[in-house]
């Protein structure tokens, strides 16, 4: 079981990396060598060295990143997509910015770029599998670097970057069955109820109760899709002692009841 907050989120809202432009997801470009160039949102041409990532949601109305596609530059770049499980309910996708640029400032991303570049140049056995495995850790490393830089964040990303409020998100994720209140969440953050109640919505752009409900229903949906527990037990595991109350809340968010959700989720695709 994951123990850190970002890993708990990624367990609940899985993200896969596809090095395939035909896949559905959020497009990204990753530099695996130094020397590439990108034109930023202000029109300035800047370096896009090994370990840098540019990401842009397809629905964004903002101007896309502009690369200069000389043949040498294309060899320095890897294009792919971040593919979000159940994108219509995935908070990691819902709370992402329309586009983001992460510079190559961390040893982890530069190391990943070096390893990926080395595998791309080889014809050894297992090359394709190795490239897929290396690429799979790109998203958490990107988020880790992104959170360390000044950005306008919201939702779970804003809470991840806020050292004071992060414990409340961690508790909602790790113990969804507990009867969390404003007072108890404030206590784990070592804040007064008034200060916590004021700061949380300012940072996350939603109330603790609303976010807790979304996380609980996401956990319930995951268990309905992948587990065999009775619906009542799943409701109890996410904090609902009343089956009727759990059914109402789940239907309010998912549009269908938990029993129907489970049946439809298991239909052949």
Q: How many whole angstroms from its chain centre is CA 197?
A: 25
Residue 257 confidence (pLDDT): 94
Ranges under pLDDT 50 in the chain: none
For residues 243, 248, 252, 254, the Cα torsion angle rounded to the nearest 10 degrees is: 40
142/8 Cα distance (integer angstroms): 16
Residues 135-166: pLDDT tens digits?
A: 999 999 999 888 887 677 889 999 999 999 99
Residues 15-42: pLDDT tens digits?
A: 999 887 667 888 898 988 888 888 777 7
Residue 181 confidence (pLDDT): 97
Q: What pTM was computed for the model?
A: 0.88
Domains plus CATH for the chain? 5-152 (no CATH), 157-206 (1.10.10), 209-265 (1.10.10.60)
Residue 166 to residues 12, 49, 162, 184, 222, Cα–Cα distance (Å): 17, 31, 6, 14, 23
Residue 89 confidence (pLDDT): 80
Q: How many CB atoms lie within 10 A of CB 62?
A: 11
CA atoms within 13 A on the CB side of 190: 3
Q: Which of 135, 143, 150, 112 is nearest to 33 (CA)?
A: 112
212/179 Cα distance (integer angstroms): 10
Residue 23 confidence (pLDDT): 72
């Amino acid at each position: 079981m994951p123990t850190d907050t970002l890993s708990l989120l990624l367990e609940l809202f899985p993200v896969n990396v596809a090095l395939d432009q035909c896949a559905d997801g959020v497009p990204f470009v990753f530099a695996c060598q130094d020397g590439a160039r990108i034109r930023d949102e202000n029109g300035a041409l800047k370096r896009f060295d090994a370990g840098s990532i540019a990401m842009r949601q397809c629905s964004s109305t903002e101007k896309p990143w502009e690369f200069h596609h000389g043949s040498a530059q294309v060899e320095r770049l890897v294009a792919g997509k971040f593919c979000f499980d159940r994108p219509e309910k995935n908070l990691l996708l819902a709370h992402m910015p329309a586009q983001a640029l992460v510079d190559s400032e961390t040893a982890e991303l530069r190391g990943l770029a070096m390893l990926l570049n080395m595998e791309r140049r080889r014809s050894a056995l297992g090359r394709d599998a190795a490239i897929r495995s290396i690429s799979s850790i790109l998203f958490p490393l990107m988020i880790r670097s992104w959170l360390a830089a000044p950005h306008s964040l919201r939702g779970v990303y804003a809470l991840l970057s806020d050292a004071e409020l992060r414990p409340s998100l961690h508790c909602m994720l790790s113990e969804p069955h507990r009867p969390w209140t404003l007072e108890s969440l404030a206590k784990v953050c070592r804040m007064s109820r008034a200060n916590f109640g004021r700061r949380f919505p300012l940072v996350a752009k939603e109330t603790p109760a609303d976010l807790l409900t979304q996380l609980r229903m996401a956990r319930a949906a995951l268990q309905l899709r992948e587990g065999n527990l009775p619906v009542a037990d799943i409701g109890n595991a996410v904090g609902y002692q009343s089956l009727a109350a759990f059914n109402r809340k789940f239907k309010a968010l998912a549009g269908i009841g938990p029993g129907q959700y489970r049946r439809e989720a298991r239909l052949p695709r």
